[in-house]
Amino acid sequence: MRQAWLIYRKELLGMARSYQLLWVPVVLMLLVVMQPVTSYYLPEILAASGSMPEELIAGLPIPGSAEVMAGVLGQYSTIGVLILVIAGMQVVAGERYGGTAALVLVRPVSSASFISAKWAGQMTLMLLSFTASYAASWYYTVLLLGPVSWRQGLIAGGLYILWLTFAVSLTVLLSTLMRGSAAAVISLLLMGALSLGYSLAPAWFSWSPGRLLVEGTAAFGASPLKPAISPSIVTALLSLLCIICAVWSLRRQSIPDLRGD
């Protein structure tokens, strides 16, 4: 436990020095805050551009707060995942091929401690970024467009945190197996395939983690929220399986491989 804690602190220090703890939350915050701001000021923006008749602009409806928050969640499922995957693609691969992992693992440090600390560091970055940006978008939505249901907002946020947890876990696994750029590409392809699979065949993929995206957005709808127990359990188990496989893979790799020889 002490080994994992020391590596976790080192991971946080590294993210602080590379400004990941700053730029990832700030980029996500700017991304999602623009949703309520542009929705509210869209008529003024179009009027200033002069590209649309005033009669048409006057008839443009301003979306409700629930609709805007659903759009905010859509940003996390696309650009948000991309940012987190890029931020974490070198989390293990960078140290494996740079030789740092070899220097760490020749000491009395277990592969489980190493991987769990890396995963915890990426989870800290994700939770910090999501919480700060989601709270900011919620604040501006309430300020400009009206109140947001606490129940709907917390349920939707929880489902998306679970989805992003799976994205982080998958990235850690693939970063253990291959180089960072390849890990990022395959992570994004797999996440996209899961989302697309449920969209195309919801009856066959009702268990899929991709269903969390649909249910999270639907939490802001007028219809009653469907239970998302099975995809939540499957997503949690798949996240755990990714970490277990990452530990097993790192344990089987020899020190020369870790050094990139």
Do 246 and 92 form a contact (C-beta atoms < 8 A)? Answer: yes
Q: What is the pLDDT of residue 222?
A: 63
117: tokens are: 């600390």
Instruction: Give the type of residue at 114.
Output: F
C-alpha to C-alpha distance for 138 and 32, rounded to whole angstroms = 9
The tens place of each residue's pLDDT in the chain, 261 residues long, gives: 777 888 899 889 989 999 999 999 999 999 999 999 998 887 787 777 766 677 676 667 778 899 999 999 999 998 999 999 999 888 888 776 655 554 455 566 788 888 999 999 999 999 999 999 999 999 999 999 999 999 999 999 999 999 999 999 999 999 999 887 888 999 999 999 998 988 888 888 888 899 999 999 888 876 656 678 889 999 999 999 999 999 999 888 754 333 333
Q: What is the pLDDT of residue 256?
A: 38
Local structure of 163: helix, strand or coil = helix
- For residue 224, how many other CB atoms are within 10 A of its CB? 7
Q: What is the pLDDT of residue 255?
A: 41
Do 161 and 123 form a contact (C-beta atoms < 8 A)? Answer: no
Sign of CA dihedral 112, 113, 114, 120: positive
H helices within the chain, ranges in order?
2-17, 20-49, 54-58, 65-75, 81-88, 93-98, 100-105, 111-145, 150-177, 180-200, 211-218, 229-252, 255-259
Phi, psi torsion values for 146, nearest 5 degrees: 125, 175
Total domains in the fold of the chain: 1
Instruction: Provide the domain limits for residue 95.
Output: 2-259
C-alpha to C-alpha distance for 153 and 136, rounded to whole angstroms = 13
Q: How far is CA 28 from the centre of its chain?
A: 10
Instruction: Give the type of residue at 84.
Output: L
